[in-house]
Amino acid sequence: MNRLKTGEAPRPFETHDFTGEKIKLNDYKGKKIHLSFFRDASCPFCNLRLNQLIQNHDKFKNSNIEVITFFASTKDIILKFANGHKAPFPIIPDPDLKIYDLYSLETSFKAKLKTMGKPKKALKAITSEFFNLRSLTTIDIVPAEFMINGNFKVDKAFYGNDFGDHIPLDDILNWNA
């Protein structure tokens, strides 16, 4: 399947978050949705971003933005590494990469090297409370994010270039859809 592009309809999915709650993308029609696809739940870069999304949740709510996140991990790995965040939005386990494949996410060892080639970014992750050795051995999925407007069209499809590459937070918070 090809990468999702601006102006296209999002690819619908139906699944459960790690708490067992049913999540169906079509139930969010008419709302602004920010989808975030992360690597494994042990990834420090991903946990830094997840923490950033959580810290700004009230701002997202005030802008009528619903956040849905994915990890290429099992429920147990999410419980071990990401549950401590107490996210006020769905965190969906997708260890079989079914929804990742639906949204055409890619793996790239080169992206891992690019990340390590950015010393400031790498140092922040390594010195964070989220760093762990497991993250060095997990699948090299490159993160992606999608901003879906109330008309159920993609306003922005963002496929990262490295493990810490995301849509700037201000772009999401200042999104007029």
The span from the CA of 122 to the CA of 105, in Å, is 22
Residue 36 confidence class, pLDDT cut points 50, 70, 90: very high
| Summary mean pLDDT of the chain | 87
pLDDT in tens, 50-97: 999 999 999 999 999 999 999 999 999 999 887 667 899 999 999 999
Instruction: Give pLDDT, residue 125.
Output: 56
Instruction: Give pLDDT, residue 6.
Output: 95
pLDDT in tens, 119-155: 566 555 556 555 555 555 567 889 999 999 999 999 9
The span from the CA of 164 to the CA of 118, in Å, is 10
Most confident of 27-36, 114-123, 159-168: 27-36
Q: Where are the domains of the chain?
A: 27-173
Task: Report the range of poorest mean pLDDT among 4-8, 15-19, 41-45, 76-80.
Answer: 41-45
CATH architecture designation of domain 27-173: 3-Layer(aba) Sandwich (3.40)
The closest of 55, 51, 2, 42 to 141, measured between CA atoms, is 42
Instruction: Give pLDDT, residue 122.
Output: 55
The span from the CA of 45 to the CA of 124, in Å, is 9
pLDDT in tens, 100-109: 999 999 876 6
> What's the chain's Rg over C-alpha atoms?
15
- pTM of the predicted model as reported, rounded to 2 decimal places: 0.87
